Amino acid sequence: MSIGGKGRVCHVGRTLLSMALMSIMGVTAVHAAQCETDGLRAPMGYYQIPEAREGGSYTCDRVEPYRGDMNFTSKYEGSDSARNELNEDAYQSYLDATKAIRSFEKEVIAAADDYQVDGDGSAARDCVLENLDAWAQADALLPEEINHVGEAVRKWALASAANAYLRVKLSSDGAAFKDERTARIENWFDDVADGVRGYYTDREPRKVNNHDYWAAWAVMSTSVATGNCGHWDWSMTKFEEAMRQITEDGYLPKELSREDRALEYLNYAMQPLTMVAVFAEVNGIPVHETYGEGFETLARNVVAGLDDASEIESITSYSQLTDGLHTPWGLAWMRPWTETWGELEGMSEFLASYGPVKSTRLGGDVEFLYRIDPLWPADGIPVAPDLRIDH
pLDDT at 35: 60
- Tell me whether residue 152 is in a domain: yes
- Tell me whether residue 387 is in a domain: no
pLDDT at 390: 35
DSSP strands (E only) in 231-304: none
pLDDT in tens, 10-29: 322 222 222 222 222 333 23
Domain containing 92: what range? 14-370
Share of the chain above pLDDT 90, in %: 72
Domain of 87, CATH number, reads 1.50.10.100
pLDDT at 55: 66
Q: How many domains does the chain have?
A: 1
pLDDT in tens, 131-148: 999 999 999 999 999 999
pLDDT in tens, 260-287: 999 999 999 999 999 999 999 989 899 9
- Tell me whether residue 5 is in a domain: no
- Tell me whether residue 9 is in a domain: no
- Tell me whether residue 389 is in a domain: no
> Over the range 64-91, which residues count as b (16 or more CB within 10 Å of their CB) and which as e?
ebbeeebebbbbbbeeeeebbeebeebe
DSSP string, 173-213: -GGGGSSHHHHHHHHHHHHHHHHHHHHHTT--GGG-SHHHH
- Tell me whether residue 383 is in a domain: no
